[in-house]
Amino acid sequence: MSVVYCHIFRRLISYNPYRKKSTTMPLKRVFFWQPNAGSTVNSQILNEVSQCVESINGVKEGRWKATLTFYKPMLRDQVLSAEFPREFIGISLPEQPNKYYFVLRFNKIVLESDSSIQLIMEKLQSYKSRVALNFEGFQYQLGDFQLRVGKVVPSHSENLRGIVMEVEYLPISSLEKSKQIMEEFFDIWQDAISKRSLPGRFIHIEPDFSDYGLADHYTSQHTAVQYTHVTSQLIASVQAVQTGRN
């Protein structure tokens, strides 16, 4: 590994010259589809979910896309292996096109950088992309809420890996203050989606944001952490299905 890149990465995970204080933004929760035992996700479920949003007067506004990439080090000197994470995650979000987010889940670190950091990493060739997942679909407006429903697919494949839903409440950015209204909205949503008798349900497991040094006021760093946790849950779900088949 080049001395230059060692220096850059140490700075990136310590004080990070690219890091800027994240701007407070409307709060959102990221849900993932948990199939019932013995079933899997498919495009028909995704279509049904989208139709359900429209049935409760959700107005389609356009497409959205987020990308999550697993990186691993290309170590030329194994002596340095203990100093660098074996793997970390990079995330691009549609609401912050000029930013890039790094999450080191096991170290409980989340960082915000300029999107140009990706070019630096590519040129130095010290970390490479192991796998990238796209989260993409349609965005809907529903009163003070924005919903984004999408599929999870590998970047070079249409093989469906999961379904996600973002629920964003525009007037509030406080996690604590929004808790009740988000729960009330989700109860309404669950009632609507349950009428379609689909083989599964949406689940939200909120990370402990304080572990990452994140405060009550919501930022894009909170979103990056949520996508990291949702992805790990999706992977665990797929592995459980495969284990059941074997």
Q: What percent of the chain has pLDDT over 70?
A: 82
> What is the per-residue pLDDT for 80?
54
- What average pLDDT is seen over the chain? 86
State which residues form the domain around 160: 3-245
| CA-wise closest residue to 9 among 109, 146, 132 | 109
Range from 105-109, 123-127, 144-148 carrying the lowest mean pLDDT: 123-127
> Is residue 80 classed as helix, strand or coil in its secondary structure?
helix
Count up the domains in the chain and report the number.
1
pLDDT of 139 higher than 80: yes
Residue 84 CB-half CA count within 13 A: 26
Higher pLDDT, 14 or 171: 171
> What is the per-residue pLDDT for 85?
65
State the Cα–Cα distance between residues 41 and 149, nearest whole angstrom: 14
State the Cα–Cα distance between residues 8 and 73, nearest whole angstrom: 14
> The CATH number of the domain where 233 resides is what?
2.40.320
pLDDT single digits (tens) 30-76: 999 999 988 899 999 999 999 999 999 999 999 999 999 999 877 66
> What is the per-residue pLDDT for 129?
87
> What is the per-residue pLDDT for 16?
44
State the Cα–Cα distance between residues 193 and 51, nearest whole angstrom: 10
> What is the per-residue pLDDT for 127?
80
Two structure tokens written together for 188: 């309404």
Task: Produce one character per residue of 26-43: b if its CB has 16 or more CB atoms within 10 Å, e if not.
Answer: bbbbbbbbbbeeeeebee
Residue 237 banded pLDDT, cuts 50, 70, 90: confident
pLDDT of 170 higher than 90: yes
Q: List 135's β-bridge partners, or say none.
A: 66, 152
At residue 157, φ and ψ (nearest 5 deg) are -155, 160
pLDDT single digits (tens) 199-229: 999 999 999 999 999 999 999 999 999 999 9
